[in-house]
């Protein structure tokens, strides 16, 4: 039906369901969390390279900021890879077809 809200088209040629899928991908929590991990990881890596000997001695000789930052960068990259390799719109489309 042309009156169905999911299949109506606007003059630009995009459907309402297409907009919903784009919005789902835009506000996907995996992207937001991954981006935050990348930002905070970058800050910690920068701080880790600038750690003084006193800071390293406080942490039992471990470059804790550097290692924690690298771990956060790895985690952020994995979240973003997950979001890009398996977009939420595809998962929502599979659920709609299955029901």
Q: How sure is the predictor about 45, in pLDDT bands with cuts at 50, 70 and 90? A: very high
Please name which of 20, 24, 36, 38 lies closest in space to residue 87, comparing C-alpha atoms.
Answer: 24
Which long-range contacts does 90-98 make (Cβ < 8 Å, 24+ apart)? 92/20, 92/21, 92/24, 93/21
Task: Tell me: pLDDT of 36 over 70.
Answer: yes
pLDDT mean over 7-15: 53
Q: What are the domain boundaries of the chain?
A: 31-87
C-alpha span between 86 and 75 (Å, rounded): 16
C-alpha span between 69 and 48 (Å, rounded): 8
Task: Tell me: pLDDT of 42 over 70.
Answer: yes
């Amino acid at each position: 039906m042309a009156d169905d809200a999911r299949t109506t088209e606007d003059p630009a040629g995009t459907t309402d369901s297409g907009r919903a899928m784009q919005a789902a991908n835009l506000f996907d929590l995996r992207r937001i969390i991954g981006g935050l991990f990348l930002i905070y990881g970058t800050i910690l890596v920068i701080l880790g390279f600038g750690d003084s000997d006193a800071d390293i001695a406080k942490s039992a000789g471990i470059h804790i900021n550097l290692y924690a930052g690298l771990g956060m960068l790895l985690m952020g990259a994995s979240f973003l890879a997950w979001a890009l390799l398996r977009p939420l719109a595809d998962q929502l489309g599979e659920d709609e077809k299955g029901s």
